[in-house]
Chains A and B, each alone.
Chain A
Amino acid sequence: MSDTIVSLPDQSTARIPKMNYLTKENGILSWLLTGDHKRIAILYLISLSFFFFIGGALAGLIRLELLTPQADLMATDTYNKVFTMHGVIMVFFFLVPSVPATLGNFLIPMMIGAKDLALPKINLLSWYLYVAGGILAIYTMAAGGVDTGWTFTTPLSTHYVNTNVLTTGLAVFVAGFSSIFTGLNFIVTIHKMRCPGMTWFRLPLFVWAHYAASILMVLGTPVVAIAIVLVMLERTIGIGIFDPAKGGDPLLFQHLFWFYSHPAVYIMILPGMGVISETISTFSRKRVFGYTAVAFSSVAIAVFGFFVWAHHMFIMGISNYAVLVFSLLTMLVAVPSAIKIFNWTFTLYKGSITFETPMLYTFGFMGLFTIGGLTGVFLGASGTDIHLTETYFIVAHFHFVMVGGMLMAFLAGIHFWWPKMTGRMYPEKISQLAAVVTFIGFNFTFFPQFILGILGMPRRYAAYPAEFQVLNVFSTAGATILGVGYLLPVLYLTWSLKYGAIAGDNPWQATGLEWQTQSPPLTENFAQMPIMDHEAYDYEWLENKERKEKEVTSAG
């Protein structure tokens, strides 16, 4: 029984290519001033992981506090700061840039057969902006934190708290520009840099997903930027645009904020969906079922995603007609998401499925994202939303989508392309264990929160009635398992940098152009300009190509 598709070169003779993007230049400056999209991706990966573990540590503090019904680990206002910083860091410094800035940066030029992104300097600038924003966020924590919640709700953020709203706002503003530049770069690259033969419908679905996410970044982020500028002006000089005392309307802030921040969840999830399309095809040895439908469903999510923002405001006093319309539109977004899930499932049908680590994470994604998505329908229906909003049901819902969905996809992608990025394989057995541990830990952590939400436990409080303790203990215990699941990859991936098996060009027998070049790739990605002469996910083409190569080798 062949239970793996991995085919590695003969380890006794295989060598990492001497000339590659990692060895081309040396020294810290060659990294800090690089224009190479692959190096920038690595810079992003390191800085993102740093922020992920800060955000994760804050999550750990939240779960520890909630172990007991009383607010005993920390003061209640400290708790407010902890969950606010957890949200700010995870949303703006991990989830939004996660897959696009690392895997997207690394892979989009390779997948479309280009030497680099269209605007390498802008790409580097976006990393510096990200780091500057991150330093501001860390400064905020050191200076005493901020306790408005990551949503900066007015008038709380403008009038009633005296914490570091300004520096946090500035941090988000700066990080927003980083996101705009990434999205802009992707759109220009996908339009203008495709190699000969790479038509729109030969693009890998990973690229389609990033294209859709980039549209959201480019159109949405400037709106949250102006909203934050107005909050900062309100706090510093009191201009009154959101101040009811002067005739301003706090709801206007909600509209401007969620006009970005709802599409932002699609910025987070779409690139993850792109990863899943690649892994599910590779590990079922089949072309993605309904390629065109999956490609257009990404665009449909991007378009519908802009017209549902007010479902965050059902209890804020918007009109009943607005509730009705936004409720309906919210249901519509479920359709393209479901198209993706069904098409991936059909891809599995009669495929030759193998269970390498990326595929385990992919299965995790599909299950958890489906649960997260369907509970979103509960919240989109205004009747149930009024009961469930501001409870732990919401918390569980978006963690299922963002952590269960996005983070699983991120880890699937990191494992899947690790051999391409580093030239070495990760250790398979322990990483399979990590994937399973993550899945179990995740469900233990967040499933009880659905029940807590339905029972009525509100979010954002350090203390809760004693009857909720059992489920909270479950959740905290799960969080520790989850923590182990996230620490393991850091350890064994670092280990594999030196001791991992040499991967060769194409360990997965995958079809993308990025696998048809050496690992790690050259700075120019390809020795010669590729020409795309087949459809995406064409495994027959790959077999023919490899047969020919074998004939050449044996004849020679």
Chain B
Amino acid sequence: MPDSTTIAHGAHKAAENAHEEHPPYLRHHFESTYQQSDAAGFAMWIFLLTEVMFFGGLFTAYLIYRNWYYPAFVAGSHQLNIFWGTLNTLVLISSSFTMAMGVWCAETRRRRGLVLCLILTFILGLGFLGIKSIEYSEKIEKHHVPGFHYSLQSFIDPDSDSAAKAAGDKPLPLDMARHTEVYFSLYFAMTGMHALHMIIGIGILGFMIFRARAGAYTEGHVTFVENFGLYWHFVDIIWIFLFPLLYLISRHQ
């Protein structure tokens, strides 16, 4: 039995009429497209919050060990290639720009513009990973990967190492030199987790390029592009923190 106190017939009729005008992307359990995109956007922000907590664990570890082993962190940081690091920062910021342009194109229903922006973001993302792999291979050559035949050579005898020499490093006592391994653990854990997020993002971008060519995001339903944009900017911001924390320790000397 319908009960007049719990059911507003008018509201129900209005919903029924609206049903005929539903755009095809409106899922059945939402009342309106606004509610749908509102909920999806909110969900994305909460997901990013969980990502903040995930990286937060690593940042906490960084904070503690940097306080304990500051000289080791300085010496370790001098081993990073600041040219590649800076270039990568530029590449990533550019990719955030192209992504933001992509979101704008989707919102203003520019299909070709959107496809172009997504492809550019895709290429810049791959470029970031390419540069990162050059940096990783430098570390592997110098035995600076923790766990695998880790070498203390650059830290107890800086004159034998061009990067350490250029930075004017003094030899570290053996105890402190050992702790550079903790620095590189954090370096690989943090940049590795970041790179993993990039890889996932690039995978989703590839999928989006196909869908965007078919016009899926330029018919008014832009939630997916917007939410992916949020994810991409988040990954970017993580790098904006990682770059100074890992590369720029005590560079002013």
Residues of B within 8 A of A516 (CB): 3, 6
Question: A184 near B43 (CB under 8 angstroms)?
Answer: yes
Q: Known: A188-B46, A196-B11, A549-B1. Is A114-B29 also a contact (CB below 8 A)?
A: yes
Minimum C-beta distance from A521 to chain B (A): 14
Minimum C-beta distance from B190 to chain A (A): 10
CB < 8 Å neighbour of A247 from B11, B51, B179, B193: B179
Closest A residue to B192 by CB, please name it: A233
Question: A218 near B49 (CB under 8 angstroms)?
Answer: yes
Q: Known: A238-B146, A241-B185, A531-B7. Is A184-B64 also a contact (CB below 8 A)?
A: no
Minimum C-beta distance from A538 to chain B (A): 11
B219 at the interface (CB under 8 A from A): no
A528 at the interface (CB under 8 A from B): yes
Residues of A within 8 A of B8 (CB): 196, 529, 531
Main SS of the interface on chain B? helix
Residues of chain A in range 218-259 having any CB-CB distance to chain B below 8 Å: 218-223, 225-227, 229-230, 233, 237-241, 246-249, 252, 255-256, 259
A187 at the interface (CB under 8 A from B): yes
Q: Known: A118-B43, A119-B43, A184-B47. Is A529-B53 also a contact (CB below 8 A)?
A: no
B5 at the interface (CB under 8 A from A): yes
Minimum C-beta distance from A334 to chain B (A): 26
Q: Mark A168-205, 1 if CB is under 8 A from B, else 0.
A: 00000000000010001101110111001000000000
Residues of A within 8 A of B148 (CB): 237
Residues of A within 8 A of B43 (CB): 118-119, 122, 184-185, 188
Residues of B within 8 A of A372 (CB): none
Question: A247 near B178 (CB under 8 angstroms)?
Answer: yes
Segment of B34-42, B88-96, B157-165 in the binding face: B34-42
Residues of A within 8 A of B53 (CB): 218-220, 222-223
Cα(A219)–Cα(B189), bound, Å: 21
Residues of B within 8 A of A549 (CB): 1, 3
Closest B residue to A191 by CB, please name it: B42
Q: Mark B17-47, 1 if CB is under 8 A from A, else 0.
A: 0000000000111010001001110110011
Looking at B3, B28, B46, B69, the one whose CB has the most chain A CB atoms below 10 A away is B46
Q: Known: A222-B57, A237-B147, A552-B1. Is A192-B39 also a contact (CB below 8 A)?
A: yes
B131 at the interface (CB under 8 A from A): no
Looking at B9, B50, B55, B179, the one whose CB has the most chain A CB atoms below 10 A away is B50
Cα(A248)–Cα(B65), bound, Å: 8
Minimum C-beta distance from B99 to chain A (A): 23
Cα(A230)–Cα(B185), bound, Å: 10
Minimum C-beta distance from A466 to chain B (A): 46
Residues of B within 8 A of A256 (CB): 57, 60-61
Residues of A within 8 A of B5 (CB): 533, 541, 545, 548
Q: Known: A184-B46, A223-B54. Is A548-B182 also a contact (CB below 8 A)?
A: no
A530 at the interface (CB under 8 A from B): yes
Cα(A237)–Cα(B184), bound, Å: 13
